[in-house]
Structure 1
């Protein structure tokens, strides 16, 4: 069956970003306070419309820089959301992206964002559009990927201790881990960590070995949440 394209309503495409970091003892997401309608004054995930000459990753990186002044390290596509009515202006399909970054300074709002801040994810409710659902999906994606990939290192500085890495897992998963068991698992996972040959005392106590992320893309064996 042939369809006449002119009979279909116009559909716009946007990108939205779930940007996560670890600050203190909390997993935090980047949110902006909308300066324009719809939902003026409400907090939302950073994002915006895709330009005609842009690919989706380009649009995601641009929107993040324009609205917050940040440039992500790890950026991946999270999913697509296109329920009718999710945007009161018109039919809008958004392609959400997940970014994981080390702890950052306070973001700077720009363009159509009135303000931007890092907020603990457990405190964020009532976001504009369908961003509560998008945020929940992004948090669960991050938690799951920490089991099977070395992505936890994206929350860390370029050189980090095992204790700093363990803190990332504890904050993202929301529960304490046994230090000795964790040390054995992460140092035993092939290609996860590479020793730098230097130490630091920033954790307190005795000097601790510094590591950097290794070449592995998958963890073997995985670090399963159920096993701790």
Structure 2
């Protein structure tokens, strides 16, 4: 086709946000109840269209997070997850979405606004399994975001951000179990920790957590990139780990 006869296709650009945190030792995702069609009343990831051709894509992601859940995206580390552009992903037409991911501790209760009737933290496992139904292709986007978060715990010291300034090995293990969705053997977990120099360091004090022996306390070490990585275990059918 010659350039004289060519016209650009009608494509709209949107953003979607996968915001993850740990609450009550469970991986939670921020979801909104849609207040407009399509999928009015359904749960979805927060997001929306760019305001205009001049708006930066990441700025749009921050704006949508603020408008739909009253959360400040500039205080989070939003990283681009991937782009979704299947022709039939949105009944309103050809819409391409750029998805962003953030996983952070201590996030507040969201407050719904704009076209969201409600905003809340929900179980990521329930959303991934289909117990919670999501609009559009948001279950796929969430699955990609959770997988990225799980990989980040393998290769970075992110897990320590979900603990206090000092923590026990058991508390750190609970973070990995919540994000990875597996039960870890304490001995194997501690052995892996010992193999990553600078990941955690002794805090010099103990904490009595039971009537028995006090638990040793640790704090985050200087290493932010883990080498060797904390590789996820092979899982058994019951959710445990091999060996």
Q: TM over 0.5, yes or no?
A: yes
Contact 1:158 1:212 in 2 (8 A): no
Which residue pairs with 1:95 in the alignment?
Answer: 98
Q: Cα distance, 1:215 vs. partner? A: 4.1
Pair 1:65-2:66 in alignment: yes
Change in Cα spacing, 1:62 to 1:198, as seen in structure 2 (3 Å) is farther
- Cα distance in structure 2, aligned partners of 1:165 and 1:58: 34
Which residue pairs with 2:80 in the alignment?
Answer: 77
- Cα distance in structure 1, aligned partners of 2:221 and 2:87: 42
Q: Following TM superposition, where does structure 1 have runs of at least 4 consecutive aligned residues deviating by more than 6 angstroms? A: none
The Cα RMSD (Å) is 2.6
Which residue pairs with 1:159 in the alignment?
Answer: 165
Contact 1:16 1:94 in 2 (8 A): yes
Structural mapping, 1:184-195, within 5 Å: 184-193=191-200
Which residue pairs with 1:182 in the alignment?
Answer: 189
Q: Cα distance, 1:207 vs. partner? A: 5.6
- Cα distance in structure 2, aligned partners of 1:213 and 1:107: 32
TM-score, normalisation: structure 1: 0.85
- Cα distance in structure 2, aligned partners of 1:111 and 1:4: 42
Which residue pairs with 1:214 in the alignment?
Answer: 222
- Cα distance in structure 2, aligned partners of 1:5 and 1:121: 48
Q: Cα distance, 1:160 vs. partner? A: 4.3
Q: Cα distance, 1:222 vs. partner? A: 1.2
Change in Cα spacing, 1:212 to 1:66, as seen in structure 2 (3 Å) is farther
Q: Cα distance, 1:53 vs. partner? A: 2.9
Structure 1 residue ranges without an equivalent (≥5)? none
Which residue pairs with 1:108 in the alignment?
Answer: 111
Q: Relative to structure 2, which stretch is displaced further, 113-122 or 3-12?
A: 3-12
Q: Cα distance, 1:163 vs. partner? A: 2.7
Structure 2 residue ranges without an equivalent (≥5)? 235-240
Which residue pairs with 1:148 in the alignment?
Answer: 155
Change in Cα spacing, 1:204 to 1:57, as seen in structure 2 (3 Å) is farther
Change in Cα spacing, 1:110 to 1:148, as seen in structure 2 (3 Å) is same
Pair 1:173-2:176 in alignment: no
Change in Cα spacing, 1:160 to 1:167, as seen in structure 2 (3 Å) is farther
- Cα distance in structure 2, aligned partners of 1:6 and 1:204: 71
Q: Cα distance, 1:158 vs. partner? A: 6.0
- Cα distance in structure 2, aligned partners of 1:4 and 1:145: 48
Aligned length: 224
Q: Relative to structure 2, which stretch is displaced further, 102-111 or 112-121?
A: 102-111
SS at match of 1:175: coil
Structure having the higher Rg: 2
Q: Cα distance, 1:29 vs. partner? A: 0.9
Q: Cα distance, 1:23 vs. partner? A: 1.7
- Cα distance in structure 2, aligned partners of 1:50 and 1:187: 47
* 1:99-130 per-position Cα deviation (integer Å, ceiling 9, x unaligned): 10114332111111110111112222331111
